[in-house]
Structure 1
């Protein structure tokens, strides 16, 4: 893909409409292109606000209605085709039936194991989706708050960060673009700056160069935030000098 083409992908990137390969290629390009980084960041913020303008909550009774219908709607019965047996095939059919029965039992056992595995995977996926939806809703609520205040700054290696603070919600969101991957076995950790004392505010995704993160915990009297490089899993307190410090908007 040419550089000209990559310049046109900021909108699709902001809406998460790129394939994994395209996203990776765009993020590598954006790391060296300040214009694309800034445009993608602004489009992401705008998309979040516009999404809230047309969003509508599902009726409270919708889930119970769907679950109730599941128990009352009958599945279609399988179509049965009668089989005709040629003369003299009785003993052979009985032998084949025993083999078929054994195969069916083995198949059912295997299918049962597969079903349990698929169910567990589905449950995990549903839980991940639920958590992701909750995080997205929380981030969108901060961005759309009537008292939301925004401040942006250049970070290390050409990255850019924007922090959005809502005093009414006592929450803050950090939006990063063009972040370099942390060293192997390390992770970026966010911190509230409480008059010089750093209070953990959560971890960033090590596999993403652009991300919106709801800072964990209340803003309280924090005057800003910082980012450090910590061992995987994070630390109780910073173990390295901040790679970035940002003051909160007034």
Structure 2
């Protein structure tokens, strides 16, 4: 695969359609190609917005079910009543029937349920949109570090044939960790990143346990950190490392 071929993979990368080898090669390419990094951000944002444009339609079989039920319900024939029964019927008509009340309550409940369903769908769409905005902002921040004029990187080998690269921009005071083929953490565990400040470890966020390859914006400023580490922690992370480090590496000067 040539460099020219890698330029054509922005769309497939944004839609997670590359295999592990192609994704790894493209991410190394995008780390040094501002045009591809920008195009990936734009395509990822567009894909997220398209994902929000979803409508929910009733089951097509619903109409058939209703029409079929109509044909099976017998209509009661008219009957004659005596004068005494007429007075009783008149009295009944002056007060709501139990069935009418039940029907009204059922209709109100159905309308209320529809309103709740619509509210929940709208809330889901709003939450998804906010998540897309956060993902877009995070992608912009990652790209800003990777493409910064003073960006410096350092790569180390990780267990199982994986590798990790930390990219630091001192002018932005931020760092990005790029993982490649890291094994999934054990069930209920997560990889946690740390800044090493003279032996004191400061949390720099969690990695997505479902992705062993990808770029992660490390949380917080680089500040006085001279290195970083990775540990395996309980889901949700820890205040301080609770396991032996998977990796320790110095930050690029």
Q: TM-score, normalised by structure 1?
A: 0.66
Q: Which has the larger radius of gyration?
A: 2
**2:15 and 2:40 mapped to 1: Cα distance?**
19
Q: Name stretches of at least 5 consecutive residues in structure 2 with no aligned partner.
A: 1-5, 43-99
Offset of 1:47 from its aligned partner? Answer: 5.2
Distance across 1 between alignment mates of 2:13 and 2:242: 35
Deviations 1:35-82 (A, max 9, x none): x575233134245554449999xxxxxxxxxxxxxxxxxxxxxxxxxx
2:246 matches 1:243: yes
Following superposition, which runs of at least 4 residues in structure 1 exceed 6 angstroms of deviation? 53-56
String of CA shifts for 1:167-216, please: whole Å, max 9, x gaps: 11111010111011000010000000112221110000001111211111
Aligned residue in 2 for 1:177:
180
Root-mean-square deviation (Å): 3.1
For the 8 Å contact 2:193–2:218, the answer to whether it is kept is yes
Gaps of 5+ in 1: 1-7, 31-35, 57-97
Looking at structure 1, the residues matched to 145 and 201 of structure 2 have their Cα atoms a distance apart, in angstroms, of 22
Counterpart of 1:15?
Answer: 13
Using structure 2 for the length normalisation, give the TM-score: 0.65
Query: 1:40 maps to which residue?
Result: 26
Distance 1:135 1:12, change over 3 A: closer
Judged with a 3 Å threshold, the aligned counterparts in structure 2 of structure 1 residues 139 and 55 are, in CA distance, closer, same or farther, namely closer
1:145 corresponds to which of 145, 148, 156:
148
1:106/1:38 CA distance change after superposition, 3 Å:
closer
* Aligned counterpart for 1:207 among listed residues 210, 219, 237: 210
Aligned to 1:189: 192
Checking the alignment, whether the CA contact within 8 Å between 1:172 and 1:214 is kept in structure 2 is yes
Q: Is the 8 A contact 1:14 1:40 kept in 2?
A: no
Contact 1:151 1:163 in 2 (8 A): yes
